[in-house]
Chains A and B, each alone.
Chain A
Amino acid sequence: MTLHHITSTRRSFLAGAGLIIGFSLAPKIFAARAFEGIQAGGGEALSTMNAFVKIGTDDTVTVLSKHIEFGQGPFTGLATIVAEELDADWSQMRAVHSPADDKIYANLAFGLQGTGGSTSIGNSYEQLRKAGATARAMLVSAAAEEWGVPASEITVEHGRIKHAASGKESGFGALASKAAKQLPPAEPKLKDPQNFTLIGKELPKLDTLGKTNGTAVFTLDITADNMLYATVAHAVHFGAAVKSVDDAEARKVQGVVDIRQVPQGVAVYADNTFAALKGREALKIEWDLSKAETRSSDELAADYAKLFNEKGLEATNTGNVESAFTGNGVQTLEAEITFPFLAHAPMEPLDAVFIKAADGSVDIYNGAQFPGMDKNTAAKVLGLDPGKVRVNTQLAGGSFGRRAQFGSPYIQEAAAVFGATDGSRPVKHMWTREDDIRGGFYRPMYVHKMRGAIDPDGRIIGWDQAIVGQSILAKADLDESSVEGASNLPYVIPNLRVISHNTTLAVPPLWWRSVGHTHTGFAVETFVDELLEKVNKDPVEGRLALLTREPRHMATLKKVAEMADWGSQVPEGRQRGVAVVKSFGTYVAQIVEVSVADDGTPRVHKVWCAVDCGVAINPNVITAQMEGGIGYGVGAILFDAITLGEGGKIVQSNFHDYRSLRINEMPAVEVAIIPSTENPTGVGEPGVPPVGPAIANAWRRLTNSPVRRLPIVSVLSA
């Protein structure tokens, strides 16, 4: 039996363990944690200091991460913050996912438990510093009691508790159980950041080892005795419903156990994954398209453009835009930019394992980005009290926004699939890559219309931008996430207007790594570049002159220009482009060097990147997120689109037609982190927005053609 294979004995054991949450967390819960593959320390002998910190008799410190680990680094980052205030040694630190609890483990930026908006470090910084400092104070208090010495004479360093005068010394483990019984201080004393010894250091990540030998356990790796494997046949049109099913052939497939209709499609249950897939393949389904989206992407774009003539929702309107464009000698520039739907395509498609315990309660194992919401949703679908459902968050194979869905529609499907059985067998429900690519919840399609006005002295005096697309939050009024980055334009332009037009489609929208900045960053940074070119200003100098109110934008831009030796000779056949975007409180400036490859497509050789994310908790993680964000952004901007073809049918289906960047296309990346004492902000998303416009700006200089439609290759092949 492997650690992640659940036998019935262990299952009933778990059923009890999951009920105990929060401050009263009993060691038993760690039985469940073992399925993560990333081990908590301390075996069963753990003492609870508070909701976030446990200490084992073996001196290990386990941090309970309220945020899901899917590569962006919260296990390491949150453990660093705790270790700093605890004066622990890095080698003793461990991290696991916390249980699902919307109160104790709330994201302080959201008010419920959830990971997103690059908030993991920012919202946890003070909370986990206090958790670490509290645990330290309790250890010190326990040592004082044990040794009969004043607490004020006790020091803690690298995981050792010492009393110099008496020569007494101890690790954390020996005092942990006594410490857990101490009264926590009302207001723990925090360190002066100048005395930080771990924060700001290049510490190795906590989750690397298991991810290099196959032992890290993801949801898809969880198995249980007598488990069913389930897949669902979905429509290839959004908004379609099942009209009729002929499952005769599917039922003949060896290993297929049952077939049931669920609201999301037709579920096939089998004894193994291949049988489930083969059974699904053999289904004959007729779909009702009467409520489906039947317009193609081209038709949608044409319909979107018509909205520019309508009034729209005013996001910002300062100065007098109309008169700025009609003044004497004013030059104008116009652009219309079309952005496609984008799928997130995390490496691990959506999946979940449902197991019913003897008492009728249910354990769910999944990559829960909103664990509390997943729990409540599953409870509703299964007709259970939420207290009878436990969400056991697992390591997830990427997300990029995909696993954070209001109302948990994926869990609705998985729960419906489980609920359609008698519950006697555990069910693993998985999406295939095709389900993922065609599953909707895309970065919405947008069309931007831009107008710029330049006065006779060459000053940019007017900026008029209209944005058409779905509201990710499905709002009827202004959705800030449709206009963020444009409505709060960092550039000082006296007459500024940004208008938003919401559209309604049957294609479900979702945030995609960096949300509104995926398109506003591109539109703003390419358009300002063109305006500056029109008045013969250098892209860096010209931006700096317009950023007078934004010192942190200026500093990152200056830093990246210095790194790239901006203005120096660029190799023959190459051009450079620059962009600077603030997103989620983090400032990122990038310079790219691009040439035209033999096949006529852009070849991105190098990216220089400067980032200001306040206090740098772990430079290793920050640099990795910049590298990864750049690669994710380059792939999307060059290659990616989800297209609705004729009649609204989804065109793409897998990685052959929804391209991912590959190693031979990855640019060299150089990252610099701006030293800062500001509160830390996130890094999971902010690396993405600048790279697209920087590439487009270089491409315009190389080819004299501005990029008006994404992905860039769609124009080249058209």
Chain B
Amino acid sequence: MVTFKLNGQERSFDGDPETPLLWVLRDFEKLTGTKYGCGIAQCGACTVHMDGTTRRSCITPVSTVDGSEIVTIEGVTGKEADAVRKAWVAIDVPQCGYCQSGQIMSAVSLLQMTPKPTDADIDGAMAGNICRCATYHRIRQAIHDAADILEG
């Protein structure tokens, strides 16, 4: 039995302990905002926050999250999350939208650690998140805009 905190609530899982967190979230918790894209931590569509940092849930066996705090796109809150969403909506970042949960989780984490990121910081934090629609141009802009919102 694995127990962990999910978006602030205590949860437990007693299935196959090898099950990646991604499928626990999607199939068992019915939190489908976190997406499957590759299964090998190459695309970042499955990005969640685990104990305050980004984590690729597709390669994270649920056994390793015992006692941890997991936050998904459905539960991410705070001033960085608000600023990121506001900036994302303002310039219509998403196209197909499938990767955007992961993009947003990575962007929120970046701003939590680096409130005023440079282009190089953005490259470093976001290069693990693939967008096949190539909305990168607007993702970069939106992160800078979110930093401006945070600065007030």
Contact = CB atoms under 8 A, between A and B. Distances in A.
Interface of A: 2, 4-5, 70-73, 204-205, 207-218, 220-221, 223, 229, 254-255, 272-275, 277-278, 345-349, 395-400, 430, 432-433, 620, 624, 627-632, 634-635, 654-656, 660-664, 666, 668-669
Contacts of A274: 16, 18-20, 23, 27
Contacts of B136: 631, 661-663, 666
B86 to A, nearest CB: 9
B135 A624 contact: yes
B127 A664 contact: yes
B130 A208 contact: no
A628 B33 contact: no
Interface string B103-143: 01000000000000000001100111111111111111000
Contacts of A396: 96, 98
B24 to A, nearest CB: 8
Contacts of A71: 94-97, 133
A433 B98 CA distance: 14
B96 A2 contact: no
Summarize A's interface: helix, strand, loop or mixed.
Answer: loop
Contacts of A628: 95, 133-135
A663 B140 contact: yes
A563 B145 CA distance: 25
A400 B134 CA distance: 12
B98 A398 contact: yes
B147 interface: no
A476 B2 CA distance: 60
B71 to A, nearest CB: 12
A668 B100 CA distance: 20
A275 B100 CA distance: 27
A632 B28 CA distance: 34
A23 to B, nearest CB: 30
B1 interface: no
A275 B74 contact: no
A663 B74 CA distance: 24
A683 B30 CA distance: 36
A4 B89 contact: no
A347 B130 CA distance: 8
What are the nearest 4 A-B pairs in CB distance?
Answer: A214-B33, A631-B134, A397-B98, A211-B97
A213 B85 contact: yes
A71 B134 CA distance: 11
B134 A630 contact: yes
Nearest to A432: B39
A487 B78 CA distance: 57
Summarize B's interface: helix, strand, loop or mixed.
Answer: loop
A273 B26 contact: yes
A257 to B, nearest CB: 14
Contacts of B43: 347, 433, 655, 660
Contacts, number: 194
Given A348-B98, A655-B43, A4 B133 contact: no
A71 B36 CA distance: 18
Contact of A397 (B15, B42, B96, B128): B96
B70 interface: no
Specify which of B35, B36, B127, B134 lies most central, judged by the most chain A CB atoms within 10 Å of its CB: B134
A430 B95 CA distance: 22
Contacts of A208: 88-89, 92-94
Nearest to B99: A347
A239 to B, nearest CB: 26
A593 B19 CA distance: 46
Given A213-B73, A220-B26, A655-B38, 19 more contacts: A2-B30, A2-B32, A71-B94, A71-B96, A71-B133, A208-B89, A212-B93, A215-B74, A229-B27, A272-B19, A274-B19, A347-B133, A396-B98, A624-B135, A627-B138, A628-B133, A628-B135, A655-B42, A663-B139
Contacts of A275: 16
B54 interface: no
A215 B33 contact: yes
A397 B33 contact: no
Contacts of A635: 134
A410 to B, nearest CB: 17
Contacts of A209: 89
B34 interface: yes
Specify which of A255, A400, A661, A666 lies most central, judged by the most chain B CB atoms within 10 Å of its CB: A666
B30 A5 contact: yes
A400 B127 contact: no
B63 interface: no
Nearest to A397: B98
A207 B130 contact: no
Contacts of A430: 36
A662 B33 contact: no
A629 B133 CA distance: 7
A664 B32 CA distance: 28
A272 B97 contact: no
B96 A4 contact: no
Contact of A620 (B39, B45, B88, B92): B92
Contacts of A630: 134
Given A217-B32, A433-B37, A655-B130, A627 B96 contact: no
Given A217-B32, A273-B26, A628-B134, A663 B16 contact: no
Given A272-B23, A628-B135, A214 B101 contact: yes
Contact of A214 (B19, B23, B34, B99): B34
Nearest to A38: B97
A535 B42 CA distance: 46
Interface in B45-99: 45, 72-74, 85, 88-89, 92-99
Specify which of A5, A205, A278, A629 lies most central, judged by the most chain B CB atoms within 10 Å of its CB: A205
Nearest to B43: A655
Nearest to B119: A664
B16 A254 contact: yes
A451 to B, nearest CB: 35
A273 B32 CA distance: 13
Nearest to A632: B134
Contacts of B16: 254-255, 274-275, 278
Contacts of B92: 204-205, 208, 620, 624
Specify which of A210, A214, A660 lies most central, judged by the most chain B CB atoms within 10 Å of its CB: A214
A397 B35 contact: yes
A399 B98 CA distance: 11
Nearest to B40: A654
Nearest to A664: B123
A187 B37 CA distance: 48
A4 B32 contact: yes
B42 A207 contact: no
B100 A212 contact: yes
A275 B135 CA distance: 34
Contact of B96 (A229, A346, A349, A656): A346
Given A212-B100, A213-B73, A220-B36, A273 B27 contact: yes
Given A220-B35, A627-B134, A660-B132, A214 B73 contact: yes
B127 to A, nearest CB: 5
Contacts of B94: 71, 205, 207-208, 211-212
B101 A347 contact: no
A277 B16 CA distance: 13
Contacts of A395: 96-97
